[in-house]
A = this chain, B = another copy of it.
Amino acid sequence: MAEDKTKTTVPVKAGDIRPFGAIPVPRVTPELLSMVRTGAVYSLEQIVEPGIPFWDGHPPLVIAPYVRHGDMPELAPASVGNEITTLPMHGCTHIDALSHIGKWVGGEIELHGGVKVKEVMSRAGYSALGAENFPPIILRGILLDVAASHGVEVLPDSYGITGADLKRCEESQGVTVRESSAVLIRTGFSKYWRTDNARFSNKGAGINIDGARYLAERKIAMVGTDTEAVEQWPFDPEGPPLPVHTYMLVDNGITHVESLYLDRLAAARAYEFLFIALPLRIRGATGSQIHPIAIA
């Protein structure tokens, strides 16, 4: 499965649309549009505000007025306001770029496709596999409400979702994981968003390596959850760290969407839909904050 290196080494320009790992160039076919049945739109983003949970290895959250209305009397009778922000992007509803996760191979760290970190990482960010490479994401999406298929409001702390769990959920809902789908998995952990941040961040249910293999074998385009890590947290201490991240992003180019808000989609039993996410193209970044939607 030779990676075409030109994909990663010719810098993207405005307007360019390329595949990025398993995320294909969007083609809005009649088949894809047939996902739209009622036309109802669901917003899947958690609101970004002080008090959201995130790992303290991410930068802190600052949202502060910078120019305030009234600051520039020379513009009267008009006035303007803006703000300065520093955000823990990976703590907001976001999508990981393939530059986010690597693995040690020999004495070096490699990203997806064998890209060597030492050749692409600099103080300017990542010259390959950065967020600027995201195409618009327009896919068949499915929701697997694993919490519901387990008959619980929220999965147990640190529950590891297996392939069998996913399969059972598909069957109970009557939907199927298919190639190039965006698979959204609901654990119910949104319940702890801003109400029990330690639990949200440190005890998340999520897919384990078995669940990850189940999805990768079906050649999905991306996977998202209503948790901070997509993968079971903490991961199995007997095995290597971050097994799902490594397997999905590095080995398979399948990226993660984290901290989704899925409760209304689940309440509506909207299990198949048109999924749209439009990642920001910030050159060299390791991901992008997004406001994904489902149109059912």
The answer to whether B45 and A280 have CB atoms under 8 Å apart is: yes
The answer to whether B75 and A241 have CB atoms under 8 Å apart is: yes
**In the complex this chain forms, how many copies of it are found?**
4
Q: Mark A179-194, 1 if CB is under 8 A from B, else 0.
A: 0000000000010010
Q: With CB as the reference atom, state the residue of chain B lying closest to A11.
A: B47
The answer to whether B86 and A86 have CB atoms under 8 Å apart is: yes
- What's the nearest-Cβ distance from chain B to residue A198, in Å? 17
Q: Which of A26-34, A141-149, A168-176, A210-218 has 4 or more CB atoms under 8 Å from chain B?
A: A26-34
Chief secondary structure at chain A's binding surface:
loop
List of B residues within 8 angstroms of A69 by Cβ: 102, 109, 111, 117, 121
Known: A26-B41, A45-B280; 10 extra A-B contacts, CB below 8 A, are A14-B190, A48-B283, A49-B132, A49-B284, A57-B66, A57-B80, A79-B102, A81-B101, A81-B126, A81-B286
The answer to whether B63 and A78 have CB atoms under 8 Å apart is: no
Chain A residues with a Cβ under 8 A of chain B: 12-17, 25-29, 33, 36, 39-43, 45-50, 57-60, 62-72, 74-87, 89-90, 92, 99-104, 109, 111, 117, 121-126, 132, 134-136, 138, 190, 193, 240-243, 245-246, 261, 263-264, 276-287, 289-293, 295
Report how far A45 CA is from B281 CA in the complex, Å.
Answer: 7
Q: Which of B28, B101, B124, B193 contacts A50 (CB 8 A)?
A: B124
The answer to whether A101 and B78 have CB atoms under 8 Å apart is: yes
Report how far A290 CA is from B42 CA in the complex, Å.
Answer: 18
List of B residues within 8 angstroms of A14 by Cβ: 43, 45-47, 190, 193, 261, 263
The answer to whether B87 and A85 have CB atoms under 8 Å apart is: yes
The answer to whether A67 and B57 have CB atoms under 8 Å apart is: yes
Q: Which of B77, B92, B289 contacts A103 (CB 8 A)?
A: B77
The answer to whether B63 and A64 have CB atoms under 8 Å apart is: no
Report how far A289 CA is from B121 CA in the complex, Å.
Answer: 25
Report how far A82 CA is from B285 CA in the complex, Å.
Answer: 7
List of B residues within 8 angstroms of A245 by Cβ: 78, 80
List of B residues within 8 angstroms of A286 by Cβ: 81-83
The answer to whether B39 and A28 have CB atoms under 8 Å apart is: yes
The answer to whether A101 and B123 have CB atoms under 8 Å apart is: no
The answer to whether A99 and B86 have CB atoms under 8 Å apart is: no
The answer to whether A83 and B15 have CB atoms under 8 Å apart is: no
